[in-house]
């Protein structure tokens, strides 16, 4: 299994989206009343915050001179000798 480095931006994005999901779950079960006038801007702000976190992490990595992250959905190039 190929090892990879720690990606702070992925952790930060996951935490922001989990917090957003928790708010919507509380609204669904009736523990919180979330009007649509608040839900739409809150969702947009959460996604913007996640994008900002990814941008800051990428720029900090570039400033330190680290390698750029590999794309997550890049196809793997395996050479199979049995072909």
Q: How far apart are CA 13 and CA 35, in angstroms?
A: 24
Residue 26 scores a pLDDT above 90: yes
- The whole model's pTM is what? 0.60
Average pLDDT over residues 69-76: 58
Q: In this structure, are residues 58 and 10 in contact, taking their beta carbons and an 8 Å threshold?
A: no
Domain residue ranges of the chain, discontinuous segments joined by +: 8-64
Residue 78 scores a pLDDT above 80: no
In order of 25, 38, 51, 75, the CA distances from 72 in angstroms are 29, 33, 16, 9
Q: What is the pLDDT of residues 37-71, one digit of tens each?
A: 888 888 888 888 888 888 888 888 777 775 655 66
Average pLDDT over residues 11-23: 87
The two tokens of residue 66 are 């680290």
Three-class secondary structure of residue 4 per DSSP: coil
């Amino acid at each position: 299994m190929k090892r990879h480095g720690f990606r702070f931006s992925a952790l930060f994005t996951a935490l922001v989206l989990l917090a957003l999901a928790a708010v919507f779950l509380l609204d669904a079960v009736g523990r919180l009343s979330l009007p649509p006038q608040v839900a739409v801007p809150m969702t947009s702000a959460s996604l913007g915050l996640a994008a900002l976190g990814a941008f800051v992490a990428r720029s900090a990595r570039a400033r330190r001179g680290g390698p750029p992250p590999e794309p997550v959905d890049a196809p793997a190039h395996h050479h199979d000798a049995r072909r």
